[in-house]
Structure 1
Amino acid sequence: MNTLVLAYIYLACAIISEVAGSTFIVKSDGFTKLAPSIAVLVLYSIAFYLLSQVVKVIPLGITYAIWAGVGIILTAIIGVIVFRQALDLAAMIGIALIISGVIVINLFSHTAGH
């Protein structure tokens, strides 16, 4: 398999792990509940390990922009769906700008190694 494709697969898995870990932070109730607290540690460890593999292929700035941007979007979606947290217009506009930035990086940046 192409190393760039594998790097993006790892990046997707890192994002999923980070978002799941962030979700368990809420469930851990300030790290007072053992099982969700362990889940946070395990999921964040997986996320950072995978991220360390991605930066061997994709530049750190691009990797982090995609990881953070997509993570923010997915975490906001989970907040709305799972935790019934409302997003105001400013938050939705900000998320739309993040989505735009990730799209621009992936479609137009030669730095991303496409």
Structure 2
Amino acid sequence: MIWVFLCLAILFEVAGTVSMKLSSGFTKLIPSIILIFFYGGSLFFLTLTLKSIDVSVAYAVWSGMGIVLITVVGFLCFQENMSVMKLISIGLIIAGVVSLNLIEQGTQSEPIHKSGPYK
């Protein structure tokens, strides 16, 4: 269920970013209200995710996949340019997200050093 929450956080973040584009700098009321709703929802679901997934992994997946999806939406819906460098960069983001997930799932050993108030 935790991965469902993370997927919802990503989708809400992408919807919020689309609403941000449509709000024209908060000059249009409805997209501005929708923007606040979607970003609030995204943070709500991300917070639920953080109960079970390390913040480093959850945030990397949330932000990385958000970047990938909003790039695709920008290309398909807003006629933004897609270059070879953008495609390579998206590939690197996806590789990083996959790597973090593989590391998270493959290593359950004790961390080398854990200090601070959030042990």
Gaps of 5+ in 1: 1-5
Equivalent of 2:96 in 90, 96, 101: 101
Partner of residue 72, structure 2: 77
Partner of residue 59, structure 1: 54
Partner of residue 3, structure 1: none
Say whether the 8 Å CA contact 1:58–1:112 is kept in structure 2. no
Q: Does 1:11 align with 2:2?
A: no
TM-score, length of structure 1 as denominator length = 0.89
Runs of 4+ in 1 over 3 A off after TM superposition: 110-113
In 1, Cα distance between equivalents of 2:55 and 2:68: 20
| Structural RMSD (CA) | 1.6
Say whether the 8 Å CA contact 1:106–1:112 is kept in structure 2. no
Q: Residues 70 and 23 (structure 1 numbering): CA distance in 2 closer, same or farther, change over 3 Å?
A: same
Larger Rg: 2
Partner of residue 117, structure 2: none
Residues paired across the two proteins, number: 108
Question: Deviations along 1:16-44, whole A, 9 cap, x unmatched?
Answer: 00000000111001100000000000000
Identical columns (%): 35
Which secondary structure does the structure 1 equivalent of 2:6 belong to?
helix
How much has 1:107 moved relative to structure 2? 2.8
Which secondary structure does the structure 2 equivalent of 1:30 belong to?
coil
